[in-house]
């Protein structure tokens, strides 16, 4: 059974992954300060890996669904940064 809460968590982690290392620091499309911190990339990578492992415990199908959720979130993060 699909759980929307876990899907939301996967998309939010993906959005965070999509915003990491964005260095637009001025203007309307300025990235949040945490995105260009040196510790943000390892922390987001650990969150992604943990979410994928957690999803894989429910089966291979849910592992691939989690990958899709994270990719969707990364695309949304890039779009949000360009607005």
Averaged pLDDT, groups of 10, the chain, 83 residues long = 86 88 63 72 91 94 94 89 72
Tell me, what's the pLDDT at 11?
94
- Domain count of the fold of the chain: 1
H or E element that contains 5: helix 4-19
Tell me, what's the pLDDT at 25?
60
Stated pTM of the model: 0.80
Tell me, what's the pLDDT at 38?
77
Asked whether the CA dihedral 57, 70, 47, 12 is positive or negative, the reply is: negative
Domain that holds residue 55: 4-82
- The Cα–Cα gap between 55 and 38 comes to 27
């Amino acid at each position: 059974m699909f759980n929307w809460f876990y899907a939301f968590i996967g998309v939010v982690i993906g959005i965070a992954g999509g915003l990491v290392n964005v260095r637009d620091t001025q203007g309307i499309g300025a990235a949040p300060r945490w995105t260009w911190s040196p510790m943000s990339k390892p922390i987001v990578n650990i969150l992604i890996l943990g979410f994928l492992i957690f999803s894989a415990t429910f089966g291979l199908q849910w592992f691939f669904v989690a990958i899709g959720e994270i990719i969707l979130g990364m695309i949304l993060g890039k779009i949000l940064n360009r607005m």
